[in-house]
Amino acid sequence: MTILSVNINKIALIRNSRGANTPNLVQVALDCERFGAQGITIHPRPDERHAKYSDVQGLKQHISTELNIEGYPTEKFMQVVCATKPAQVTLVPDPPQAITSNSGWDTKTHFAFLQEIIQELQRNNIRSSIFVNPEEEMIEYAAKIGCNRIELYTEPYAANYAKDRKQAVAPYILCSQLAANCGLQVNAGHDLSLENLAYFKQQLPVLHEVSIGHALVCDALYMGLERTIALYREQLV
């Protein structure tokens, strides 16, 4: 079974626009769980323009599914996650000024840095995932680093899905199997949607979790959060 983790950053962005606590991020996370989400994801960035570091503790205390914290491992980020101990930390190589994540780690170039971070997460009993492009060498080095999972960056798949979905998914099939052969579990995320998710799930030999936020929240504006989460779950059967 592939788990659906709902990224609630866009909900936090709406909250921050008025400087108060509406919508309440914890309540939205609880509602997502009630509607069928099997995990909650947030990606706090240094400028805290959507999810804030202070959101991590509240979510960890109240939700009953897995909490996945994404982000670049700054000193502040590592202090927060090691103090809170979410189920999973996904390391993403985005600089502070980035609007969104737009590439995976070069796990060969940053091998020593990532290995040190992964070892710290392991000492704190936190499952680790490294965000990577669908490239064989990057996955092989991720396995050597010693992380538990990789998260495949799926924007290239989504961008090319309508033109040639078979070609678009091909590298992900290969990399999913390679990761499994290397002893890694496989997550995926970025621009997955109701249009392209089912085919992606059907084609990959191994897929443990998808993290979806932007498309899901946009769909919820029209269909409501409960119906939207149900539809995304249906794509993963």
Active site residues: 43, 70, 190
Q: How far is CA 175 from CA 47, 87, 126, 137, 166, in A?
A: 33, 24, 24, 10, 15
Alpha-carbon Rg for the chain in angstroms: 17
Residue 235: what residue type?
Q
Contact assessment for residue 104 and residue 133, using Cβ atoms and an 8 Å cutoff:
yes
> Six-digit token pair at 49?
């323009």
> Six-digit token pair at 163?
């033109």
